[in-house]
């Protein structure tokens, strides 16, 4: 039997999947039901998925909402019959886009999307582990000692890891699918954290098999799978390529800097070297800037230039 853990960010990435990819995820449900895979689904992962479900869905439909079929028409051909036909066609696309958005939002509201149905099957098949006081105290101790995983004053990742240490049988390898920076080696994003790997070997007498893609895991471990290398590559490309610890800070910074005036006033509040360097690092990441509108990106870039020219303050 394969002992498997899937981190929340992998489940949330399902909202970016095509229907064909989602269909292949049903292979995972079948492996769990047939007892070939033991999925260690925690109450923490389920709660985190439900907390972030709306944001993941919003990110997906935003791509559809931002699509506007437009065509700049030269004056010389504005009266042509063919051009009017094209305009009519583009208008029909815009109308259909709105209907698609309306339907998606309705099905999301009633948990009727294909991803919701698959997640419900996974939860029912896996029977999530509940958090108890002993695990919680261990997670707090781990976090307070500064040992990974854990960030942003959150014990969630530490809770998941402590449950795995408690529940997975000794001498059985752990198959881990995730992209959270706390579980990944800072030297090689394709490798598991060296600290956690050593801890697992010491306490469990086995190894951690690390994957960044659920389709990659299914392709390797399920001989009957028809998943292609191209599909695995596509899944990795649809996922957020940056460290989730940075993404977790985007909402806080964007909420704080709601207007251009507030944004430009923010730099005087960066009173320490650490604070200024953290903001500079965040703003210099192109993937972060892509999360904002072109106007906002320009403003953030201007602030970055301002910070770099100004230099960090000392205490």
Are residues 196 and 267 located together in one domain of the fold? no
Residue 120 shares a structural domain with residue 102: no
In this predicted structure, what is the pLDDT of residue 231?
81
Report the SS3 class of residue 112: coil
Is there a single domain that holds both residue 48 and residue 128?
yes
CB 312 within 8 A of CB 284: no
Which residues in the chain land under pLDDT 70?
Answer: 18-20, 238-315
What domain range is 83 assigned to?
A: 63-109
What pLDDT does 25 receive?
82
Cα(175)–Cα(187) distance, integer angstroms: 21
Give the residue from 213, 191, 214 showing the smallest Cα distance to 32: 214
238, 257, 286 — which closes off a domain? 238
Number of H helices, E strands in the chain: 15, 4
161/147 same-domain check: yes
Query: What HEC string does 275-287 produce?
Result: HHHHHHHHHCCHH
Say if residue 216 is in the same domain as residue 267: no
* 315 located within any domain: no
In a domain, 49, yes or no: yes
Q: Looking at the structure, tell me whether residues 155 and 55 fall in a common domain.
A: yes
Q: How is residue 48 written in tokens?
A: 């985190």
Q: Is residue 211 part of a domain?
A: yes
Domain shared by 157 and 187, yes or no: yes
pLDDT at 181: 87
On whether both 292 and 269 belong to a single domain, the answer is yes
Residue 305 pLDDT:
52
Domain end marker among 238, 264, 299? 238
- Model confidence pLDDT, tens digit, residues 58-111: 988 888 888 887 777 777 777 788 788 888 888 888 899 999 999 999 999 999
Give the per-residue pLDDT at 287.
47
Q: Are residues 164 and 271 both part of a single domain?
A: no
| Size (the chain), residues | 315
What burial class does residue 104 get, using C-beta atoms within 10 Å of its C-beta: 0-12 exposed, 13-18 middle, 19+ buried? middle
pLDDT score for 269: 37
Domain identity same for 277 and 294: yes
- pLDDT at residue number 89: 86
Residues 220, 251 within the same domain: no
Q: How many domains does the chain have?
A: 3
* 135 lies in the same domain as 217: yes
Among 109, 129, 144, identify where a domain stops.
109
């Amino acid at each position: 039997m394969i002992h498997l853990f899937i981190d929340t960010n992998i489940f949330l990435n399902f909202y970016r999947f095509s229907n064909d990819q989602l269909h292949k995820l049903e292979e995972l449900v079948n492996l769990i039901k047939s007892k070939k895979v033991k999925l260690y689904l925690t109450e923490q992962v389920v709660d985190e998925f439900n907390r972030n479900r709306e944001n993941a869905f919003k990110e997906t439909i935003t791509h559809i909402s931002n699509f506007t079929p437009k065509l700049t028409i030269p004056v010389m051909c504005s009266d042509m019959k063919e051009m009017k036909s094209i305009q009519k066609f583009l208008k029909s696309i815009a109308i259909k886009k709105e209907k698609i958005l309306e339907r998606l939002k309705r099905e999301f509201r009633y948990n009727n999307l294909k991803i919701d149905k698959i997640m419900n099957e996974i939860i029912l098949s896996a029977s999530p582990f509940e958090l108890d006081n002993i695990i919680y105290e261990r997670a707090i101790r781990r976090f307070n000692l500064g040992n990974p995983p854990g960030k942003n004053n959150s014990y969630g990742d530490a809770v998941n890891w402590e449950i795995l240490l408690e529940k997975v049988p000794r001498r059985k390898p752990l198959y881990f699918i995730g992209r959270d920076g706390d579980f990944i080696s800072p030297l090689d994003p394709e490798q598991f954290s060296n600290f956690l790997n050593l801890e697992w070997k010491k306490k469990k007498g086995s190894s951690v098999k690390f994957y960044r893609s659920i389709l990659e895991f299914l392709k390797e471990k399920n001989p009957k799978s028809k998943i292609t290398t191209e599909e695995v590559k596509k899944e990795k490309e649809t996922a957020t390529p940056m460290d989730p610890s940075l993404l977790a800070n985007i909402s806080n910074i964007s909420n704080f800097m709601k207007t251009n005036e507030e944004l430009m006033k923010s730099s005087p509040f960066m009173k320490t070297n650490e604070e200024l360097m953290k903001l500079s690092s965040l703003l210099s990441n192109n993937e972060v800037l892509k999360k904002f509108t072109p106007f906002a990106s320009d403003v953030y870039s201007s602030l970055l230039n301002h910070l770099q020219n100004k230099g960090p303050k000392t205490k």
